[in-house]
């Protein structure tokens, strides 16, 4: 059993209500959580709020617009992010975020890297036109709509991210799978207004899951190891921004390479289209 599996517990792997505060906040970081490389935070600005400026330092950074819109100046260029648009920003860059008329809510993900890659803007609408980035995996009880935002379409060292929207009451991340030898992951639950909720499982032993918890909008579950299926409440979807950091820079940055639980090995993962060798 790896060290990571010993860290699977609700008090260390679940962070609640991460969008509760305005400004730039950080909810997930190595040291404070079981994550080794992955950082996650939020940039929530009201209209007219003072812009937020920061340096990426040693970390490549992804910004994903979850609400409103913003102008982001990064690496000397300006980008406008609307809902679910994404921006990859390299290490050693200056970032300035300015909220537009409706304010903005951006997820900020980051991971330390040695190499520097070009900034890249990904329009959600364009990503959904690409069959290698937009998929609808799953059978009748596990159907979901999945869009890769930062994957094989973006040069990066560790980060990958995208959004998944389930059918009401359906399972996602099904069949149960894991990829802890290559990737650590976290789910941020989005677009689940009350009374919507879901149930997230995280386990190495299917008969005694280490984590089985209710999740609501704004919560984050960290996945340093283990299988991680989830399900929406009847009549409600379970929707999330998924974010990953490769364990080995470049080498392990591979989407769709998963280990399906042996009990469900006959069920296709449905993620093959997102793999780098499936262009």
**How far is Cα of residue 87 from the mean position of the Cα atoms in its chain?**
13
Name the residue ranges covered by the structural domains of the chain.
3-278
Does residue 68 have a pLDDT over 50? yes
When the candidates are 1.20.1250.40, 2.60.40.10, 3.10.20.30, 2.60.120.10, the CATH number that belongs to 3-278 is 2.60.120.10
Task: Tell me the whole-structure pTM to 2 decimals.
Answer: 0.95
- Share above pLDDT 90 across residues of the chain, in percent, rounded to a whole number: 89
- pLDDT tens for each residue of 69-114: 999 999 999 999 999 999 999 999 999 999 999 999 999 999 999 9
User: What is the chain's mean pLDDT, rounded?
Assistant: 94
């Amino acid at each position: 059993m790896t060290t990571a599996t010993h860290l699977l517990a609700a008090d260390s792997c679940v962070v609640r209500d991460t969008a509760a505060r305005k400004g730039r906040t950080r909810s997930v970081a190595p040291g404070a959580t079981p994550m080794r490389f992955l950082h996650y935070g939020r940039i929530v600005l009201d209209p007219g709020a003072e812009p937020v400026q920061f340096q990426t330092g040693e970390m490549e950074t992804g910004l994903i617009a979850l609400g409103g819109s913003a102008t982001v100046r990064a690496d000397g260029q300006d980008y406008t992010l609307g809902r679910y648009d994404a921006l990859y920003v390299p290490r050693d860059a200056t970032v300035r975020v300015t909220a537009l008329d409706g304010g903005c809510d951006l997820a900020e993900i980051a991971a330390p890297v040695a190499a520097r890659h070009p900034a890249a803007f990904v329009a959600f609408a364009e990503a959904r036109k690409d069959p290698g980035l937009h998929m609808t995996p799953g059978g009748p009880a596990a159907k979901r709509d999945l869009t890769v935002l930062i994957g094989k379409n973006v040069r990066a060292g560790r980060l990958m991210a995208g959004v998944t929207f389930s059918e009401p009451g359906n399972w996602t991340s099904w069949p149960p799978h894991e990829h802890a030898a290559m990737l650590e992951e976290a789910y941020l639950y989005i677009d689940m207004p009350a009374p919507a909720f879901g149930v997230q499982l995280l386990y190495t032993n299917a008969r005694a899951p280490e984590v089985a918890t209710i999740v609501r909008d704004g919560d984050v579950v960290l996945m340093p190891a283990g299988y991680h299926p989830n399900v929406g409440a009847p009549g409600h979807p379970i929707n999330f921004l998924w974010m990953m950091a490769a364990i080995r820079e470049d080498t392990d940055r591979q989407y769709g390479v998963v280990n399906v639980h042996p009990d469900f090995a006959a069920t296709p993962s449905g993620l093959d289209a997102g793999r780098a060798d499936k262009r």
